[in-house]
Each structure stands twice: as structure tokens, then as C-alpha cells.
Structure 1
């Protein structure tokens, strides 16, 4: 790549670990330049001449990548609204102790204001989906399944949950971080991925954690992939029952 070139679109999303659907093609590399440079024309490369970018390219493991906010806008024609929300959630959250940032705490890749500015600063294909997704993005969601569950709850008329709520006992000791929490009703809901069932050590920790949460008077419900089918109808119904039992009135 020439010094003025940088990865963009789906290639940038991949390098930024964005949660992307499996249906997307990965047999082409997307490379961008700013005018007056010319977009590359090489076999296997989709070149883009990109004017009006919001931010400067960043380095990801020494690779030049379009700014996260611009990358999100470039996904407008490739993703639906919920998928854009999931990518937005990924970009605006702080990096926890997982993946390539293990044992570190790093700031978000961009802010909600950055996404809004990038969207308003230039014309984008798929702008309608981007505009619909933007107000639904939240900084606390830590996985695309958490995003999916939150969106299902809110669209079904349930209150908006607190994301990754830190539960502490009366002495201030940390007990757990809860994916989706309703502190006023002492109700917590979480999505469990496959690793929770296949890792015996993780499963044992989960059992102890749930016991600690319920000892504080909280109800706790866990959902798996099949609970999120058909618009997460099963998860929504169970959450509604829990909240009504705790005193919430629709």
C-alpha cells in the first residue's frame, strides 16, 4: 500500500473487530484514499476515493485504517439497522479485559458525537439506516447479543435496562457486572455464549456468581441463542413476567 492509502469499509471493520454478519463477502480488500490521490485499481482490491471524511486514519497493529466513525458510515449499504446498532455499540464502548486488550482498560474507539458528526458531514449510501440506528446506540453493551437482547426488550415496550450494571453488597464489595439490569426492580438478564457451557471452570464461576446475585435479593435470568429466535419472543416474555412480579406496571 502507498503511504496515502488506508483500509476502509468492510476491511476496516474487520481490523477493528466489529461484529459483522456471516453473509458478507471477504474475498475482496477495500482500500481508500483521499482526493486528489487516485483509488487503487488492483485485482482483488476495491478502491475508494473518499472525500469529506470526518477523521484521519488510525493505526491498528501498524496498519492504516479509516477512522472508526467513518468506517461505521461506510457500512450503511451493507448492514441492516440492528447490525449497525451492534457495530456502533462496539465502537463506543470502553475496551474491557478480553480479546487483544486482555488485562487492559482502553477508551472507546470513538464517541456517539463522532458517529453523528461523521454521518452529518458527508453524503452516505444507506444514510436512512444509519440515521435510524444512531439514536439506538449505547455505550455500555459488550457484545452483539447483548445489543440484540436490549433492542428486543425496548421494542416490546419494556423499560430500557442499565447496561453492565456493577452490583455491590452493602459494604461496597463488588459482586457482579450484570449485562442488562433493572436496579429499581432488582432484576437482571444476561446472554450466555457457548463458552459458558463448554468451559467447566467458567460454568462453575457462573453458578457461584448467580448464587451471590440472588442472595442480594435480585432475580436473575440467563438466555441462550434459541431464546433470541423470532424476535427474542421467549426472552421478552420471561423478562416481562419478572418485571411485573417485581412491581413494574406496563
Structure 2
């Protein structure tokens, strides 16, 4: 009859080095037990407690990003147990630490770990090492982990990102979050457009042209990658650029809602609806009330979902273009 592995000392935490474990009296046999992972040489990681994702939009892009972020952050904390002095996270790992959009499959890739030149790039199983000139990065910490700041992470990401990806990440960095009641929280913005521009223009910056092309398309107010894709689809089809993240009020000044994209002079609103808009009953009811109130105030609402944005977003552009044609400028 098999017995469960002996409990580990609580002092070791979720991840720990084998050296620290041996110092606490943990045997080599215990370190090979099935309830521990070995993501890096000399490191052990307790098996995760599988807590189901929230049923609210559990298959949507934002939930997928959150799940990948959690996996990467957990592995980053594990690697920190053996990281060389001066190492910091960049690339997809840094994006995860900042809570920024990730490339699909990023949680299955090696961690992106860098050092400042002239140190040697980190090597080893499970990591992808790099060295960065000091002027190319500003360093900070998130949850005790050393990482390039948001604008540095964006600029360094150009080495392996498309124009669209850089715009999506840039939008997420410069957006001004809103609180539970819709109040803007500028103090929680990760960086400004000026800070992105300054980082793109650091002397001898690689991929500067791509960064500047992306920066020309980055806007404050896109609150999700879907919203960025929608805006790029509309302007790519030659439609006017909408205002973003706009508070819509009644004639008496009462707030009806905060809308994704607005053409004020045309009385047209474009709302991008993620998975949870269709699966969360509370969100569905709020949407119905909001759209009824907007219609009563003379607004036409165009509702865009992910399937309208595939293959360049032609379907989304057609829907919005038709609405604008119904509301010509006076």
C-alpha cells in the first residue's frame, strides 16, 4: 500500500532550490516524489492545486491570457531560486509579469531571461538567455522578481513580434484602467505614449523602424486586443478613426455607459463583445439595458464579436461602414 509523500517544510514555499530543501533535511528520495516538478536543474516546484477557471468567459481570450500568465509567473518564481546575479525577465515572461497580452503557447516556451552586457547570457534547460545593453532597458520589480519595465519590455519585444502584436501590447500599456464604477485610474497606467516613444528612440535601438510604425498606431483607450483589432480593421478599410473608451450620457448628464468606440457626430457606437458578453447572464442583462438606453438617446449601436474580426476584419468594417452610411454628416 503506497503512502502519500511526507509533507515538506512550510518554509520552503511553493518553489525552492534543492540546496535549500537539503538544508531543511529533505531527502533526495523525497525530492524525486511525484508531487514535485523539476522545471529547472536544482529547483523543485510543488504540483499546482487545480482550481477551475471562472465559468465567466472561461474559454475567452482574456481567460486564456490569465491562465498563461499564471503558469509563466509561477515558473518565473521557481527560476528565481537559482537565477544568476543581475538576471531579469524580458520577452513573453516580462509581458506575463506585467499582465500584458501574450502570444498563444507562451506558457509552453522557455522563460526569457536576460542580463546586462557584458555579462554572459543565462543558459540552461527551460530558459532562453539574452544580454541587453544597459541603455536599452529600465529595470524594476514585480512581486519580488526583476523585470524590464513596461516600455522596455515593449521595445525589446520588437525582436520577435509582428506590427500588430506591438500595437496590441502598446495599447495595453498606455490604456488608462477604470475602477469598478467606471472611474478612470491614470495612476495604474503602465506607461505613456511619450515613454514608449523615448524607449523606441534610444540610440542604436534595434527594430526602431518597426517600433515607430507600431507607435503611430497605438492609441489610449483600447481596453482589449479585440478592441485594437477592431480599430485596425476599421482604419485599414478606410473608415474614419473612432474615439475610444467614451462616456455616453443623457441630455441631463446621467451616465448611460462607457463605450468602446464612438463616432459622436454620426451618433454611431461600436461595441466589441468578448465571450463573457454572451455567457454571463448579468453582463447580458446590463448590455440589454445599456443598448436600450442608448437607442432612446438616438444612438445606433454596432455590436462586433471575434468572428467579425477574422481574416482582417472585413466583416466588422462592413457593418460599421453601413451604419456610418445611415448617419451621414450634416
1:242 is aligned to 323
1:81 is aligned to 163
1:133 is aligned to 214
1:42 is aligned to 124
Shift of 1:245: 1.3
1:66 is aligned to 148
Which TM-score applies when normalising by structure 1?
Answer: 0.90
- What are the within-5 Å matches in structure 2 for residues 167-178 of structure 1? 167-178=248-259
Distance in 1 between the 2:122 and 2:106 partners?
Answer: 22
Shift of 1:161: 0.4
SS of corresponding position for 1:53: helix
Q: Measured at CA, do residues 77 and 18 of structure 1 come closer, stay the same or move farther in structure 2, by a change above 3 Å? A: same
Q: Measured at CA, do residues 104 and 185 of structure 1 come closer, stay the same or move farther in structure 2, by a change above 3 Å? A: closer
8 Å contact from structure 2 (residues 136, 205) kept in 1: no
8 Å contact from structure 2 (residues 176, 184) kept in 1: no
Shift of 1:6: 1.2
Which TM-score applies when normalising by structure 2?
Answer: 0.69
2:291 is aligned to 210
8 Å contact from structure 1 (residues 91, 108) kept in 2: yes
Q: Measured at CA, do residues 104 and 44 of structure 1 come closer, stay the same or move farther in structure 2, by a change above 3 Å? A: farther
Shift of 1:170: 1.8
Alignment match of 2:109 (pick from 27, 33, 48): 27
Q: Measured at CA, do residues 3 and 150 of structure 1 come closer, stay the same or move farther in structure 2, by a change above 3 Å? A: same
The one-character-per-residue Cα deviations of 1:187-207 (angstroms, maximum 9, x if unpaired) are 000111111111111111110
8 Å contact from structure 1 (residues 76, 126) kept in 2: yes
SS of corresponding position for 1:158: coil
134-143 vs 8-17, which deviates more?
8-17
- In the comparison of the two structures, how many residue pairs are matched? 246
Shift of 1:9: 1.4
Distance in 1 between the 2:210 and 2:105 partners?
Answer: 18
SS of corresponding position for 1:32: strand
Distance in 1 between the 2:192 and 2:216 partners?
Answer: 13
| Greater Rg over alpha carbons, structure | 2
Distance in 2 between the 1:190 and 1:228 partners?
Answer: 13
Alignment match of 1:91 (pick from 164, 173, 182): 173
Distance in 1 between the 2:111 and 2:297 partners?
Answer: 51
The one-character-per-residue Cα deviations of 1:219-245 (angstroms, maximum 9, x if unpaired) are 001111111122111111111111121
114-123 vs 163-172, which deviates more?
114-123
Corresponding position: 1:152 with 2:220: no
2:26 is aligned to none
Q: RMSD value over aligned CA atoms? A: 2.2
Q: Please list every run of 5 or more consecutive structure 1 residues that lacks an aligned counterpart in the other structure.
A: none
221-230 vs 141-150, which deviates more?
221-230
Distance in 2 between the 1:235 and 1:103 partners?
Answer: 29
Shift of 1:96: 2.7
175-184 vs 69-78, which deviates more?
69-78
8 Å contact from structure 1 (residues 53, 118) kept in 2: no
Distance in 2 between the 1:97 and 1:33 partners?
Answer: 36
8 Å contact from structure 2 (residues 247, 257) kept in 1: yes
8 Å contact from structure 2 (residues 89, 147) kept in 1: yes
Shift of 1:23: 5.1
Q: Measured at CA, do residues 27 and 54 of structure 1 come closer, stay the same or move farther in structure 2, by a change above 3 Å? A: closer
1:53 is aligned to 135
